[in-house]
Copies of this chain bind each other. A is one copy, B any other.
Amino acid sequence: MAEEFVVTPWDVKGEIDYNRLIERFGTRPLEENLLERLRTQAGDLHPFLTRDIFYSHRDLDWILDEYEGGNPFYLYTGRGPSGEVHVGHLMPWVLSKWMQDTLGATLYFQLTDDEKFLFRGFDTLGESHHVGVENALDIIALGFDPAKTKIFFDSDLIRWMYPLVLQVARRITFSTVKAVFGFTASNNIGEIFYTSIQTVPAFMESAVQGRSVPCLIPCGIDQDPHFRITRDVAPGLGYPKPALIHNKLMPSLKGMGAKMSASDPSSAIFVTDTAETARRSIMNAVTGGGATVEEHRRNGGKPEVCPIFHHYAYFFEMDDEHLQEVENTCRNGDRLCGECKEELAEKVLAFLEKHQARREEARDRLDDFLLKDGDLPELESA
């Protein structure tokens, strides 16, 4: 039986049993028939989908119904700018990019500087905003189309969002956030209020267009609780419930049950790591290999509990055939952990070099992507 684990937007503890999480959260597994419908529309399937990394959803069938019927959806995802971005953060962004490319979806990307100020140790909102600008470079570096991508900070768009934020807030009680997030009377009133800010982008395009525009939210399964609230509130506001597609979380390099955290730089590959740092993080990582070379040669490794293998599968090896080979040679003991880490390090370093060049190029293009106060039409009816 799996260990007890905790998954909330602000806390992930223990080794996650993802199937139990589907039951606990009341989401649905991403089944074959849905993937096939998606393949038909997109012309292909991203490996994140075929590999069961994006594995859970809410109402993706409805999104496909609408799309097939000529009513395309928009995407909403985001980032809490608390520090450097690691590859685990990129997963929903990469899927969003794929959906933008294949299905033409517009993306609203929310930088929750307010959230990170309220929940973290920043002295000022400006500090969190500053981190967010750096994070925005990482988003742009993934190659999004500026004509279809609107990145915004909560603090920049708050005036525009405020009527909708209040509509949402009025429909949520303390009892609800207590039940959904485990808040107590010691939480600050900003934390308590915050979920109403994360709800609004799920209605933004509908509010802008003045009609129901379906919204699909690719996100880590840990963010689902926010959007359970969003979905409860939506109908009362006359907006459709947003659909979700959830990914499993990239495990820490320190072990499957450990936490990827900026406070432990070697727990993850951060996209701004130097080659040296990234290599060291990989070389020091926990693996699913045997205790000794002899034992490993005899019994093989266990990729299912290996953070290194997850880094291949979840991000750095999108070639299915080679991934299969990595898995097979691990299981049969041919592939030693040191070799495997060397190979991953090469891939990681190549990615970092390319990404870091692109994120520097992105610095001059920020204004093409950033949505500011005054850019959206005023909400007359709110």
Contacts and interface: CB of A to CB of B under 8 A. Distances in A.
Interface of A: 114, 117-118, 124-126, 155-156, 158-159, 162-163, 166-167, 169-178, 183-190, 192-193, 195-196, 373, 380-382
Given A159-B156, A162-B158, A189 B185 contact: no
B175 A190 contact: no
A156 B378 CA distance: 12
What is the oligomeric copy number? Answer: 2
A169 B190 contact: yes
A118 B155 contact: no
Contacts of A192: 174, 189, 192-193
A373 B168 CA distance: 23
A285 to B, nearest CB: 36
14 contacts: A114-B162, A117-B170, A124-B381, A156-B159, A159-B159, A166-B190, A169-B188, A173-B185, A174-B183, A174-B189, A177-B189, A190-B193, A192-B192, A193-B193
- Of A114, A155, A156, A188, the most chain B CB neighbours within 10 A belong to A188
A65 to B, nearest CB: 31
A71 B209 CA distance: 51
A189 to B, nearest CB: 5
B163 A124 contact: yes
A265 B178 CA distance: 40
Contact of A114 (B166, B172, B185): B166
B125 A159 contact: no
Contacts of A187: 173-174
A61 to B, nearest CB: 31
The 4 closest A-B pairs by CB, nearest first: A169-B190, A193-B193, A159-B159, A125-B163
Contact of A189 (B117, B163, B169, B373): B169
B190 A196 contact: yes
- Of A156, A173, A189, the most chain B CB neighbours within 10 A belong to A189
A186 to B, nearest CB: 5
Contacts of A190: 166, 169-170, 193, 196
A189 B178 contact: no
Nearest to A380: B126
Nearest to A164: B125
A114 B163 CA distance: 8
Nearest to A155: B162
B185 A118 contact: no
Contacts of A176: 189
A187 B166 CA distance: 14
Contacts of A175: 185-186
A159 B167 CA distance: 17
- Of A126, A155, A162, A175, the most chain B CB neighbours within 10 A belong to A162
A195 B188 CA distance: 12
Contacts of A124: 163, 167, 381-382
A176 to B, nearest CB: 8
Nearest to A186: B173
Nearest to A177: B189
A194 to B, nearest CB: 9
B170 A188 contact: yes
Contacts of A170: 117-118, 188, 190
Contacts of A382: 124-126
A117 B164 CA distance: 11
Contacts of A169: 118, 188-190, 193
